[in-house]
Amino acid sequence: MSLTSGNRFGGRRSGRTAATVVAAAAACSGLTWTAVALTSSSTVAKPPVTCAYTPTKGGSRTVGVPSFEAAAAGRPLTFRLATGEGTVTVKALTEEAPCTTNSFSYLAGKKYFDGSKCHRLTTTGIFVLECGDPAGVGNSDPGYSYPDENLAGAVYPAGTVAVSKAQPGRNGGQFFISYGDPAFPLKPDWTPFGKVVEGLDVVKRIAAKGTANGAPDGAPKEPVVLTSVRVQSQ
């Protein structure tokens, strides 16, 4: 299962002080410095984004391995998830999670999600609907995996869309949508890659029907099918 039973999902110095230290060191060494502003406005070039997608032997539906163009990283994207209850619109966090959003876009373009069932609903402690496994059981991947990203300070309030794992450390196509704030803090273990901007009420309606066996965690009572998942560039 991708959500584990334990947590339910699988001294700073001022800029002025730093400047003083640097200046003192320069004076002691006999070097002459040109004035440099050590402020937050200084820009530091970010390293180019690289994404590692590793082929796996698992997967009920494999679609190859995505490529990644660094020049396209950060471009605004919207994901539209159509279900029988309505459409959920997600703003992709392309800058914060470029490798994940690239993977999701690739899978959507391959129609990997189309016709798949959301396999898990949790209604106590955490409030999530989990989807993304064409087999509908929550233990397969699309034939590749990739590392976590965007975990620093990650939280999972209502509207968060994040990667869930078929196995620890193995991100693939599965994901969850938080339809309510968790009742307790969660470890930052799952890559957030989107925010619901429209249609959270759709997920709440699904959740209100409960699970198939009446337990707080299980398959949705009524089948939830992703009829289509599409990507829109802005």
The span from the CA of 159 to the CA of 156, in Å, is: 8
Mean pLDDT of the chain: 83
CA angle 171-90-71, nearest 5°?
Answer: 70
- Residue 26 included in any domain: no
- Residue pLDDT, tens place only, 195-230: 999 999 999 999 999 999 999 999 999 999 999 999
Read off the pLDDT of each residue in 4-27 and give the average, rounded to a whole number. 39
The span from the CA of 62 to the CA of 107, in Å, is: 10
Read off the pLDDT of each residue in 175-187 and give the average, rounded to a whole number. 97
The span from the CA of 203 to the CA of 43, in Å, is: 41
* Per-residue model confidence (pLDDT) at position 43: 55
Q: Over 90: is that where the pLDDT of 76 sits?
A: yes
- Residue 35 included in any domain: no
| DSSP percent split of the chain into helix, strand, coil, nearest 5 | 15, 30, 55
Q: Over 80: is that where the pLDDT of 168 sits?
A: no
* CATH number, domain with residue 145: 2.40.100.10
Read off the pLDDT of each residue in 175-202 and give the average, rounded to a whole number. 97
Q: Over 60: is that where the pLDDT of 6 sits?
A: no
Q: Over 50: is that where the pLDDT of 150 sits?
A: yes
The total number of structural domains in the chain stands at 1
* Per-residue model confidence (pLDDT) at position 11: 40
- Residue 43 included in any domain: no
- Residue pLDDT, tens place only, 110-137: 999 999 999 999 999 999 999 999 999 9
Confidence label for 170 from pLDDT (cuts 50, 70 and 90)? confident
Read off the pLDDT of each residue in 185-191 and give the average, rounded to a whole number. 95
State the residue range of the domain holding 116: 54-233
| pLDDT: which is higher, 11 or 62 | 62
Read off the pLDDT of each residue in 8-18 and give the average, rounded to a whole number. 41
* Per-residue model confidence (pLDDT) at position 130: 98
- Residue 220 included in any domain: yes
Confidence label for 140 from pLDDT (cuts 50, 70 and 90)? confident
* Per-residue model confidence (pLDDT) at position 46: 65
- Residue 165 included in any domain: yes
- Residue pLDDT, tens place only, 21-68: 333 333 333 333 233 333 344 555 566 788 999 999 867 788 999 999
The span from the CA of 105 to the CA of 229, in Å, is: 9
* Per-residue model confidence (pLDDT) at position 3: 55
Give kind and range of the element (H or E) at residue 101.
helix 98-109
The span from the CA of 104 to the CA of 87, in Å, is: 17
Whether the CB-CB separation of 129 and 139 falls below 8 Å is answered with no
- Residue 61 included in any domain: yes
* Per-residue model confidence (pLDDT) at position 26: 36
* Per-residue model confidence (pLDDT) at position 110: 96
